[in-house]
Amino acid sequence: MVRLRFFSFIKDLVGTGSCEIVINKEMKLRDFIKLLCNRFPALSHILIDEYNDIRVSILINGRTASWDDIVHDYDEVAIVPPSSGG
């Protein structure tokens, strides 16, 4: 089971700040993101851009993650939209 945490407007899109997803085996982040997009279709255009790159900050257990990082059972995955400011 992977604990998910959503921040800012993303939590409004999914309707919660956190939830849990059961995974049967470890998987690359790219596959985990596909799983998330199937479960939460509204996230598809938010999480991945037209070049299949991650558009948001994704942390696995508090560390910035990349496509090839592995998501394990009992990990915490946080999805944070890009910040803006001036």
Looking up residue 12, the CATH number of its domain turns out to be 3.10.20.30
In the sheet that holds 57-60, the strands lie side by side as 18-21, 2-6, 76-80, 57-60, 63-64
Q: Facing residues of 18 across strands? A: 5
pTM above 0.85, yes or no: yes
Report the percentage of the chain scoring pLDDT > 70: 87
State the pairing for strand pair 2-6/76-80. Answer: parallel
Q: What is the distance between the alpha carbons of residues 30 and 27, in angstroms, rounded to a whole number?
A: 8
pLDDT 10s digits, 33-75: 989 989 998 888 788 765 566 678 899 999 999 989 999 999 9
Locus of tokens 């407007």 = 9
85 within some domain: no
Q: What is the distance between the alpha carbons of residues 83 and 28, in angstroms, rounded to a whole number?
A: 25
86 within some domain: no
Contact (CB, 8 A) for 69 and 60: yes
What is the domain extent for residue 57? 2-80
The total domain count for the chain is 1
Is the Cα dihedral 13, 15, 21, 26 positive or negative?
A: positive
